[in-house]
């Protein structure tokens, strides 16, 4: 006498549930790593945007100047002192708490605000190559414990 089986055995159902669970863990595991990489790319994009604003502000100040006073040629400094066309010295610097500033006639003006960002500007150096050319080195670190260090470099001419 043959027995007709209708339905699945417990073993077959267990195998199917295990396969479905494995597929879900692969799919959702890859999406969480994709989300993490996506957020890291957004943070790096924000850092790059801030650096571009810093570079643009420095470039505008350089265009309005005649000569680099500090740093001296082949020296480096955290500050850039320029002699403006009106003969009034302009000091450019970077305060880690607020951002890029300039001081002219004793008045401090914030050019690029960097506070409350997801990254820190950990290093800034101006290196004068001549009286009309300066190199700028910047290092930006993400504020997370495993924060990546991103380095930037540019050359500015009067």
24-43 pLDDT tens trace: 888 777 677 777 777 777 77
User: For the chain, what percent of residues have pLDDT higher than 70?
Assistant: 83
pLDDT value at position 59? 83
Confidence of residue 19 (pLDDT cuts 50, 70, 90): very high
66-99 pLDDT tens trace: 888 888 888 888 888 888 888 888 888 877 677 7
Q: Are 123 and 139 in contact (CB under 8 A)?
A: yes
Q: Which residues contact 101 (CB under 8 A, 6 or more apart)?
A: 92, 93, 94, 95, 108, 109, 110, 111
Confidence of residue 145 (pLDDT cuts 50, 70, 90): low
136, 139, 151: which is closest to 61 by C-alpha?
136
Decide if pLDDT at 1 tops 60.
no
pLDDT value at position 63? 83
pLDDT value at position 146? 65
Decide if pLDDT at 156 tops 80.
no
Average pLDDT in the 141-158 region?
70
Q: Which stretches of 9-88 are assigned E, i.e. beta strand?
A: 65-70, 76-77, 80-84
51-62 pLDDT tens trace: 788 888 888 888
User: For the chain, what percent of residues have pLDDT higher than 90?
Assistant: 2
pLDDT value at position 3? 63
3-state secondary structure of 116: coil
């Amino acid at each position: 006498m043959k027995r007709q089986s209708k339905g699945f055995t417990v073993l077959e159902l267990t195998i199917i549930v295990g396969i479905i669970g494995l597929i879900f863990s692969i799919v959702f595991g890859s999406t969480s790593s994709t989300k993490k990489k996506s957020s890291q790319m957004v943070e790096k994009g924000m850092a790059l945007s801030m650096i571009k604003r810093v570079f643009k502000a420095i470039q505008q100040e350089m265009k309005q100047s005649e000569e680099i006073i500090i740093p001296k040629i082949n020296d480096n400094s955290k500050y850039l002192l320029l002699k403006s066309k009106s003969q009034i010295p302009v000091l450019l610097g970077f305060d880690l708490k607020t951002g890029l500033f300039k001081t002219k006639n004793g008045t401090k003006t914030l050019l690029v605000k960097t506070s409350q960002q997801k990254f820190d500007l950990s290093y800034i150096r101006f290196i004068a190559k001549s009286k009309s050319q300066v190199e700028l080195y910047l290092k930006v670190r993400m504020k997370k414990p495993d924060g990546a260090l991103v380095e930037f470099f540019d050359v500015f001419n009067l």
